[in-house]
Structure 1
Amino acid sequence: MTPYAVRRESHSDFLTLRGLRYHVRQWGDESLVTPDRPPLVLLHGWMDVGASFQFLVDELASIEGPDRWIIAPDWRGFGLTETPQADGYWFPDYLGDLDALLDTLLAHAPADQQIDLVGHSMGGNVVMLYGGIRPKRIRRLVNLEGFGQPASRPEDAPGRYAKWLDELKEPSSLSSYKSVDGVARRLQKNNPLLPTDRADWLAAHWSAPDAAGDWRILGDPNHKRSNANIYRKEEALACWAAIEAPLLWVEGDQTDTDRWWAGRYTKAEFHERLSVVRRVEKHMLSPAGHMLHHDQPRALAERLKAFLGA
């Protein structure tokens, strides 16, 4: 198998954001920004890293050239970003980190500088909230399978808090692997559509060897704990309704939401919720599952180019 060949190289920076040492992967820099090509910010999902977007960046560069500043941070507790001294992770912190990241990277930009914002899965849920909270900051918004969560009821709160308290009593852990090849094969087990060359490349960015020589996922095990807060659908939809930017929604034809929610929340219900957003363009990629930026990076890049240039 020929190793995956990166076509557009990135560079890493470390920034202090809200007291945490944040790793930010960048392709290009602010000198590439034009009114038609503002900074493009890519936000990864749960148990992922910013490097996960390399295949998409490569395909985008092959279609339109490398003249775009692209930014992909590792969320707190993932990748090379520092892990906070806390027992859990909350969406307000992701919003705060994103706001601080943009304030820092765009410190010398005009006050009205907008960005194009893309989020996958958990990152997609973040961008939908942020798009309504900071609507003037976003020129184009892209959600890659950030479905939100099943609706909850206030009476669900006692049980959720109790579950969280119970989980605090048990240490969290993630599996380890004897080699980086073991990590790559796990990635392919999770996603059978992932080609071997991409899996091998991802594994080296998704994990690192520990002192004993075992390879461990670059993610805080505390991410596995239940969130103490119930999902408040009405609050989320109020943020979605405040989005002013055009929204591109992209999903994979093989994504099975029943695997996550067992019928408690369907794709049909999600699309009904999405109707609160004023301008939405929808696309489905095939064959593709939840990791559609790994499965169909070329097709996704073509959709992005058309949408961002519209």
Structure 2
Amino acid sequence: MTSAPVHPFRISVAQSDVDDLRRRLESARWPEEIDRTRPEDGITVEAMRELVDRWRDGFDWRAHEADLNRFPQVTTEVDGQLLHAVHRRSPRPDAEPLVLLHGWPSTVAEFRHIVDELAEPADPSAPAFHVVAPSLPGFGFSGPLRERGWGAHRMADAIAQLMRRLGHGRYLAHGGDAGYQVAAALARVDGDQVGGIHLNLGGVGLAGLHRDEPPADDAEARALALYTDYVRDKSAYALLNATRPQTVSYGLADSPIGQLAWIAEKFSDWADPAHPVAVDDVLTTTSIFWYTGTAASSARFYQEEYTANRAPGTGPATRRGFVDVPTAVSSFPSEIVPPIRRWAEERYRIVRWSELPAGGHFSALERPDLLVGALQGFAAQLRAMA
């Protein structure tokens, strides 16, 4: 294995790109509306106008760019692809490495509210971590992709190489959305070094595997009902990403409000209504996709993982073997489909299962305190088990 150099990195978007985005927002064309848009039609024109007004006149990209640049970052080339990561070392001598893996439609910015607390916890008795948060290949500062074939296992191979280049040995991994698939793949391809994985497990995929079975209890019945509702009314984005990512990309790459609508709808629909994702976090994520031009390459994860399957989210688990490393699952109540433990235990060696009191799909942005506590609790449990 040839080791490529690791380079320090800082985010620095050209001012001409910032100015171009503002001009596009100022000259945006708005779609027609039949009476008043209903939420079931998609994100409303009223909601979009509020977001665009903020993005154009109130959102300070340079301030958020500087906030992200608080964290040391690196880039390297792995398997012909640029790979970017936040690499925040802890000053604690007992800290252990932790990989944080985002999903779609997200970026490494999803973790900016938890990195410092994980590396230097306010409670000195809590576990501390050397935090490595990669931008998944094809997403944000690790994109666009240079070739096809970047599914979960190839991404995991690249991240395993990154960890070696950063000088880390045995490590833990956390993932949600696409990131949970990459975390599970890390356990398979780098099992000697992965001490455990913590997942916001994909309840959609688990329910899809059991969709033709009678539920064993009320929780399973609810999960199957939510899965049916998702596939029937809310999964068009996944099918488009999986089957026509290039066609989708033209509108997203050329229209900032198109890119914003594609992303903002998910941040609204998949979050806990009591703990919504902050508007500026939505706009930071959208800005990263816009400035890096990664609408198409991020969508290709769906093409790699789901194309052969009729229902979104049912593919990877049908093709992957049992994950035999210690696995923790945190179930947030407003997930698209909350995971079911019995179903998860068919695929993972579950050693910790937590039902959290709040939060949804973007837990690091909605309830960062709960996610940090879950990760610290899992690390403490693994140490006690050793």
TM-score by length of 2: 0.59
**AA paired with 2:360?**
G
CA distance in 1, matches of 2:275, 2:140: 20
3-state SS, counterpart of residue 331 of structure 2: strand
CA 1:33–1:229 in structure 2 vs 1: closer, same or farther (change >3 Å)? farther
Q: Which residue of 2 aligns with 1:302?
A: 373
CA 1:173–1:307 in structure 2 vs 1: closer, same or farther (change >3 Å)? same
Greater C-alpha Rg: 2
Q: Which residue of 1 aligns with 2:194?
A: 138
Residues 179-217 of structure 1, C-alpha deviations (whole Å, 9 max, x = no match): 999899657534345556x431452254259xxxxx568
**AA paired with 1:79?**
G
Q: Which residue of 2 aligns with 1:158?
A: none
3-state SS, counterpart of residue 140 of structure 2: coil
Matched, 1:51 2:109: yes
CA distance in 2, matches of 1:232, 1:181: 28
* CA positional deviation for 1:46: 1.8
**AA paired with 2:99?**
V
How many residues in Structure 1 have an aligned counterpart in Structure 2? 273
CA distance in 2, matches of 1:22, 1:91: 14
Matched, 1:280 2:351: yes
Q: Does structure 1 conserve the Cα–Cα contact (< 8 Å) formed by 2:85 and 2:135?
A: yes
Matched, 1:114 2:170: yes
Q: Does structure 1 conserve the Cα–Cα contact (< 8 Å) formed by 2:144 and 2:292?
A: no
* CA positional deviation for 1:56: 2.2
Matched, 1:91 2:172: no
Q: Does structure 1 conserve the Cα–Cα contact (< 8 Å) formed by 2:243 and 2:307?
A: no
CA 1:146–1:271 in structure 2 vs 1: closer, same or farther (change >3 Å)? same
Residues 145-189 of structure 1, C-alpha deviations (whole Å, 9 max, x = no match): 33473349xxxxxxxxxx999737846345443699989965753
**AA paired with 1:297?**
P
Q: Which residue of 2 aligns with 1:172?
A: 249
* CA positional deviation for 1:101: 1.5
Residues 2-58 of structure 1, C-alpha deviations (whole Å, 9 max, x = no match): x999699312211111112221112226xx474x42211101112211121112224
* CA positional deviation for 1:296: 1.1
**AA paired with 1:247?**
T
CA 1:299–1:170 in structure 2 vs 1: closer, same or farther (change >3 Å)? closer
Q: Does structure 2 conserve the Cα–Cα contact (< 8 Å) formed by 1:188 and 1:194?
A: no
Two-structure CA RMSD over aligned residues (Å):
4.0
3-state SS, counterpart of residue 63 of structure 1: coil
CA distance in 2, matches of 1:297, 1:168: 31
* CA positional deviation for 1:124: 0.7
The structure 1 residue matched to 2:97, chosen from 23, 30, 39, is 39
* CA positional deviation for 1:305: 1.4
**AA paired with 2:194?**
I
CA distance in 2, matches of 1:299, 1:184: 24
The structure 1 residue matched to 2:362, chosen from 266, 269, 291, is 291
CA distance in 2, matches of 1:248, 1:83: 32
TM-score by length of 1: 0.71
CA distance in 2, matches of 1:302, 1:74: 23
CA 1:301–1:92 in structure 2 vs 1: closer, same or farther (change >3 Å)? closer
* CA positional deviation for 1:128: 1.5
3-state SS, counterpart of residue 289 of structure 1: coil
3-state SS, counterpart of residue 98 of structure 1: helix
* CA positional deviation for 1:118: 0.8
CA distance in 1, matches of 2:281, 2:307: 35
Matched, 1:203 2:283: yes
Q: Does structure 1 conserve the Cα–Cα contact (< 8 Å) formed by 2:201 and 2:339?
A: no
3-state SS, counterpart of residue 114 of structure 2: helix
**AA paired with 2:111?**
F
Q: Which residue of 1 aligns with 2:294?
A: 219
* CA positional deviation for 1:123: 0.7
**AA paired with 2:283?**
A
Which 4+ residue blocks in structure 1 deviate beyond 6 angstroms?
A: 3-8, 163-166, 179-185
Larger helix proportion of the pair: 2
Q: Does structure 2 conserve the Cα–Cα contact (< 8 Å) formed by 1:124 and 1:145?
A: yes
Q: Give 1:207-286 correspondences, 5 Å limit.
A: 207-208=287-288, 219-222=294-297, 223=299, 226=303, 227-230=306-309, 231=315, 233-236=317-320, 238-240=321-323, 243-244=324-325, 246-257=326-337, 267-268=339-340, 271-286=342-357
CA distance in 1, matches of 2:137, 2:84: 9
Residues 251-283 of structure 1, C-alpha deviations (whole Å, 9 max, x = no match): 2112232xxxxxxxx844x64242453342111
